[in-house]
């Protein structure tokens, strides 16, 4: 989102390169790597980092004009998709994991 606001190419995190040109094609592998990278950290720390990063993402998202979000091909680095594919994909990804996460959190409380 920051790249869209600044009219630049995005700068991906270093770990992103481990998964080839399109990490979305290998979501399970990306999730497994992310889990392993964070599994020894306390939940409160992982959640705080996620919360901070996600709020940052949402703040950038709010600043992008609607026409820039909806125009397919507006940003070459989106591979022809509209920028709105990013938040929609993020929502779907969170929905995919929420039930398992809530069940795990309940187990932690019940221990």
Mean pLDDT of the chain: 87
Confidence of residue 12 (pLDDT cuts 50, 70, 90): confident
Q: Are 69 and 82 in contact (CB under 8 A)?
A: yes
What residues make up the domain containing 34? 2-110
**Per-residue pLDDT tens over the stretch 39-88:** 999 989 999 999 999 999 999 999 999 999 999 999 988 889 999 999 99
pTM for the model: 0.74
Cα 103 from chain centroid (whole Å):
21
Domain count across the chain: 1
For 92, residues 6+ apart whose C-beta sits below 8 A from its C-beta are: none
Dihedral angle at the C-alpha atoms of 54, 94, 67, 53, nearest 10 degrees?
Answer: 10
């Amino acid at each position: 989102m920051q790249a869209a606001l600044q009219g630049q190419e995005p700068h991906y995190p270093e770990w992103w390169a481990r998964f080839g040109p399109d990490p979305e094609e290998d979501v399970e592998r990306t999730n497994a790597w992310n889990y392993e990278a964070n599994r020894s950290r306390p939940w409160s720390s992982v959640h705080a980092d996620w919360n901070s990063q996600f709020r940052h993402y949402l703040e950038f998202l709010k600043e992008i004009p609607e026409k820039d979000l909806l125009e397919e091909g507006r940003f070459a680095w989106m591979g022809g998709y509209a920028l709105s594919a990013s938040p929609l994909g993020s929502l779907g990804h969170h929905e995919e994991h929420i039930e398992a996460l809530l069940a795990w959190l309940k187990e932690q409380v019940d221990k």
